[in-house]
C-alpha cells in the first residue's frame, strides 16, 4: 500500500520537464541542421509537458501531469513516472493530447480512473478525438478510464488538485484561447502562448519560477518568439525563468549562454523544487 496522502499539509512541489520541444520535437524528421544532428542530450526535445510531484510530510507522492503528448510513454519511462493522479490540459493541439491513451497503464497500476481537467471546449474535443474512451464497449485493459472535469477559463476560479491550489491562466495562442496554470503563489507554466491579457499578467508577477513559451528567434503567429518571451520576462520579473516549446533554432548551450542571469532554456529532464508554495 502506498503511504496515505495527507492533503491538509502543504506538500513539497517538485517539477520535472518531461518535454521541452515544439510540436515536431527536436530533432526534426529529415533535418540535418547542427542542432538536429547534435549528440548533446539537451538538444533532444520531446513534445512539451511537465510533471508536478507533490510530496507529503510522510513521503507519499501524488503526480499531476500537464498535457499528454505523443511522447508520453517515453517520457514516463525516462522520468520515471510511477503514477499519474490528475491531468491538466492546456489545449487540444495534437502535440499536447495524442498520448492520452498511455494513461491506461496508470489506471492499471492505481486501479482508479484518472481525472482530466480542461475547459468545456477542451473536453468536447477530447470526447470527439478519443471517442472510444467515452463510449460503452470493450472493457478490460484496452482503454483508459478517465473522468473529465470541467474548469472555467477564469483567474477567479481556482480549484484544488491533490491538495494544491491550481489557478487557470487564460492566455491567447494565436486566435485560440488556451490555459496556463499557476500552482500556489510561486510557480506557473505557460506554454503555447502569443499574447497574455493584462489580468493574467498581474497573476504572473513576482513568481519564484515561471516556465514560458519561446518557439524560435523569428516572430510566429501563435507562439512567443525568443525576443517576445524575454520582453515578457523583463516585465514579470520571476526569480527564475525557463523557456520551453523550443524548436531546432536553439542550441541549448549557445542560446543559454547569451541569456541574462535567471533565464535559461528548459531541457528534457530538468527538475527543480518549488519553495514557498503550497496552498
Assess contact for 266 and 243: CB atoms under 8 A. yes
Q: 56 vs 232, which CB is nearer to Zn ion?
A: 232
Rounded Cα distance between 162 and 254, Å, is 39
Q: From the CB of 121, what's the least distance to Zn ion, in Å?
A: 14
Q: 83 vs 93, which CB is nearer to Zn ion?
A: 93
Q: From the CB of 152, what's the least distance to Zn ion, in Å?
A: 20
Q: 152 vs 249, which CB is nearer to Zn ion?
A: 249
Q: 44 vs 143, which CB is nearer to Zn ion?
A: 44
Q: From the CB of 77, what's the least distance to Zn ion, in Å?
A: 22
Q: From the CB of 8, what's the least distance to Zn ion, in Å?
A: 36
Q: 93 vs 104, which CB is nearer to Zn ion?
A: 93
Rounded CA Rg of the chain: 18
How many CB atoms sit inside 10 A of residue 256's CB? 17
Site of interaction with Zn ion (CB under 5 A) = 23, 28, 31, 33, 36, 93, 95, 192, 248
Q: 21 vs 184, which CB is nearer to Zn ion?
A: 21
Residue 162 C-beta-side C-alpha neighbours within 13 Å: 27
Q: From the CB of 172, what's the least distance to Zn ion, in Å?
A: 11
Q: 248 vs 252, which CB is nearer to Zn ion?
A: 248
**The sheet that has 240-244: what strands, in order across it?**
159-161, 164-173, 176-183, 187-190, 209-213, 240-244, 263-265
Q: 247 vs 277, which CB is nearer to Zn ion?
A: 247
Assess contact for 126 and 89: CB atoms under 8 A. yes
Closest CA to 20 of 42, 52, 53: 42
Residue 154 C-beta-side C-alpha neighbours within 13 Å: 7
Q: What is the distance of C-alpha 168 from the center of its chain?
A: 13
Q: From the CB of 167, what's the least distance to Zn ion, in Å?
A: 21
> How many residues are listed for the chain in this entry?
279
Rounded Cα distance between 213 and 215, Å, is 6
Reading the block at residue 30, the C-alpha cell is 529529415
Q: From the CB of 49, what's the least distance to Zn ion, in Å?
A: 10
Q: Using CB atoms within 10 A of its CB, is residue 145 exposed (0-12), middle (13-18) or buried (19+)?
A: middle
Q: From the CB of 159, what's the least distance to Zn ion, in Å?
A: 23
Amino acid at each position: 500500500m502506498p503511504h496515505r496522502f495527507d492533503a491538509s499539509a502543504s506538500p513539497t512541489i517538485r517539477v520535472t520537464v518531461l518535454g521541452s520541444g515544439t510540436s515536431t520535437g527536436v530533432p526534426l524528421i529529415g533535418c540535418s541542421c547542427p542542432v538536429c544532428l547534435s549528440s548533446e542530450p539537451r538538444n533532444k526535445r520531446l513534445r512539451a509537458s511537465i510533471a508536478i510531484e507533490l510530496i507529503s510530510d510522510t513521503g507519499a507522492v501524488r503526480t499531476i501531469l500537464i498535457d499528454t503528448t505523443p511522447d508520453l510513454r517515453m517520457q514516463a519511462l525516462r522520468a520515471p513516472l510511477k503514477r499519474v493522479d490528475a491531468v491538466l490540459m492546456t489545449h487540444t493541439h495534437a502535440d499536447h493530447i495524442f498520448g492520452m491513451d498511455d494513461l491506461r497503464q496508470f489506471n492499471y497500476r492505481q486501479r482508479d480512473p484518472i481525472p482530466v481537467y480542461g475547459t468545456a471546449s477542451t473536453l468536447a474535443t477530447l470526447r470527439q478525438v478519443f471517442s472510444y474512451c467515452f463510449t460503452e464497449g470493450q472493457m478490460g485493459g484496452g482503454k483508459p478510464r478517465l473522468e473529465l472535469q470541467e474548469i472555467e477559463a477564469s483567474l477567479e476560479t481556482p480549484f484544488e488538485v491533490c491538495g494544491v491550489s491550481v489557478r487557470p491562466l487564460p492566455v491567447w495562442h494565436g486566435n485560440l484561447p488556451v490555459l496556463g496554470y499557476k500552482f500556489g503563489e510561486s510557480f506557473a507554466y505557460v506554454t503555447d502562448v502569443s499574447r497574455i491579457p493584462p489580468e493574467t499578467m498581474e497573476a504572473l508577477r513576482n513568481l519564484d519560477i515561471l516556465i514560458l513559451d519561446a518557439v524560435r528567434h523569428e516572430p510566429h503567429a501563435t507562439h512567443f518568439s525568443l525576443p517576445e518571451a524575454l520582453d515578457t520576462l523583463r516585465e514579470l520579473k520571476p526569480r527564475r525563468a525557463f523557456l520551453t516549446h523550443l524548436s531546432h533554432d536553439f542550441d541549448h548551450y549557445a542560446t543559454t549562454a547569451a541569456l541574462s542571469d535567471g533565464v535559461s532554456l528548459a531541457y528534457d529532464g530538468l527538475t527543480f523544487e518549488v519553495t514557498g508554495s503550497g496552498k
